[in-house]
Amino acid sequence: MDLNKCIGCQTCTVACKTQWTNRNGREYMYWNNVETYPGTGYPKNWMELGGGFDAAGDLQPGVIPNLEADYGVPWDYNYESLMGGQADSNTFHPHVSPTWGPNWDEDEGAGMFPQDNYFFYLPRICNHCTNPGCLSACPRDAIFKREEDGVVLVDLDRCQGYRYCIAGCPYKKIYFNPKISKSEKCILCFPRVEQGLPPACAQQCVGRIRFVGFLDDEESQVHKLVHKYKVALGLRSDYGTQPNVYYIPPTESPAKFDAEGKIIEGSTRLPIEELEKLFGPAVHDAIKTLKAEMKKRKETGVSELMDLLIAYQHSDMFRLDNNYYQQVAKENKRNPLAPVDTRYIAGKFTTKGHTQTLFGGHTAGGHH
């Protein structure tokens, strides 16, 4: 996720919500949310709620957030009375009195306006960690990490709603569904990914900040950003869960103003300490690389990293592999479904022979 490009429009949030969480006790959940940083985040002060591992590798105790105080009860309006023509400005009201909700402190940030205030947007989904806190906390083995791609899922048949997973996740990205009394979380849109399609949040991202692929696929954008250029870093990797969502830290921030409202040359509003807190000490090198490549691009017009980050084509951001999943299905005798959309399929298991002709002779599939 390229934080230099995120505009906080919440299109990802809406894409996820309409796809997965607007019903059945999931109403309060945001499998994807975009929060203002610095800020309280969602749920409120999630970084202070424990979970994750200490240096010795011991799972840390955590707190399960409260629906009203920490998540916010989702409110709805009395549309019915509006439809019936009985409503006026006095009678149109939310069904609960809102006291808290996600983005309650949107765009507030920190510092003093106009001298040195600052903020940036931090989109968050489940990190599908390599060492998941939720999985380690579950006493029922109801959480598993898929061997084929590392997606972390809840086995809803085994889950008994104990909620230790919520305490164990340092990102508080697993939620309790009170309606079915089970835990639920971001599934990385695995039904889409298996068809070679990016998750809904990434597909809909208007800022083109989200790259999706397999980290061990050297041709993938994510491999280049994370391993080749090392400009994408895990969020709060100090929690010890080895998160698999990587962020390009924000490198650009305006200068501060002095008391007379004049620009303080060479100053920057975004304190590096904040970025170090989020992304660890490697953030210094990442920013250095990003700035150097930006300069190189300006001067020479050539930079593979900048071209990658610009993402000229939507399809240039994703490298998934439908045929890979078909092979997994075949090996495990599961039912391999036909791909719905092959535009993003460019993995090592995908051959040209797989491309198909869609509407009006437009050829899809393969790498564009």
Partner 1 sequence: MKKLLTSILSLGVAASAALAAEPLITAAKVANVNDASVWEKAKFETVTLYPQTAIEFNDKKANELTAKAKAKKAQVAAVHDGKNIALMVKWADKTKDVQGIKCSDTYSDGFAVQFAAATKKPQPLPYIGMGSEGRPVIVHLQKATSKVYEPNGNKDVGMQINRQQTGVFGKELADFDAKVAALANTDFERVFVAEGFRSLTEIKDKSVQSNASMTYVPGGWNGSLVRPLKDQYVNLGGTVPVSIAVWDGTNMGRNGLKNLSSWVAINLEGQKPNAAMVAELTTDAKGDAAKGKEAAMTNGCNGCHQLEATDAKSFMGPALHNAGGYSTAAYLRESILKPSAVVVPGYNRNAHANTPWYNIEKGKRVSTMTDFSFLDKETVDNIVAYLKTLKAEAE
Binding site for partner 1 (CB under 8 A): 22-25, 27-28, 50-51, 56-68, 71, 73, 76, 79-80, 83-84, 131, 135-141, 157, 160-164, 166-168, 175-176, 178-181
Residue with tokens 């170090």: 276
Per the CB < 8 A criterion, the answer to whether 18 and 85 are in contact is: no
Distance CA 213, CA 15 (A): 19
Amino acid type, 336: P
Cβ atoms of 161 and 139 closer than 8 Å: no
Strands 363-364 and 356-357: antiparallel
Segment holding 239, helix H or strand E? none
For partner 1, which is the closer residue by CB, 177 or 220?
177
Shortest spacing between CB 165 and partner 1, in angstroms: 9
Rounded least distance, CB 134 to partner 1, Å: 10
**Shortest Å, Cβ 53 to partner 1:** 8
Which residue type is seen at 96?
Answer: V
Nearer to partner 1, 10 or 136 (CB): 136
Tell me the CB-side half-sphere exposure of residue 322, using CA atoms within 13 A. 23
Beta carbons within 8 Å of 85's beta carbon, 6+ residues apart: none
Amino acid at 349: F
The rounded distance, in Å, linking the Cα atoms of 197 and 189 is 9
Nearer to partner 1, 181 or 351 (CB): 181
Comparison of 173 and 210: residue with beta carbon closer to partner 1: 173
Q: Which is nearer to partner 1, 38 or 50 (CB)?
A: 50
Task: Report the residue number, 150 or 161, with the smaller CB distance to partner 1.
Answer: 161
Q: How far is the CB of 330 from partner 1 (least distance, A)?
A: 26
Minimum CB separation of residue 262 from partner 1 in Å reads: 49
Taking the C-alpha atoms of residue 46 and residue 65, their distance in angstroms, rounded to an integer, is 8
Dmax (CA) for the chain in angstroms is 71
Least distance to partner 1, CB of residue 82, Å = 10
Report the residue number, 11 or 131, with the smaller CB distance to partner 1: 131
CB of 35 to partner 1, least distance (A): 18
Provide the residue type at 180 as one letter.
I
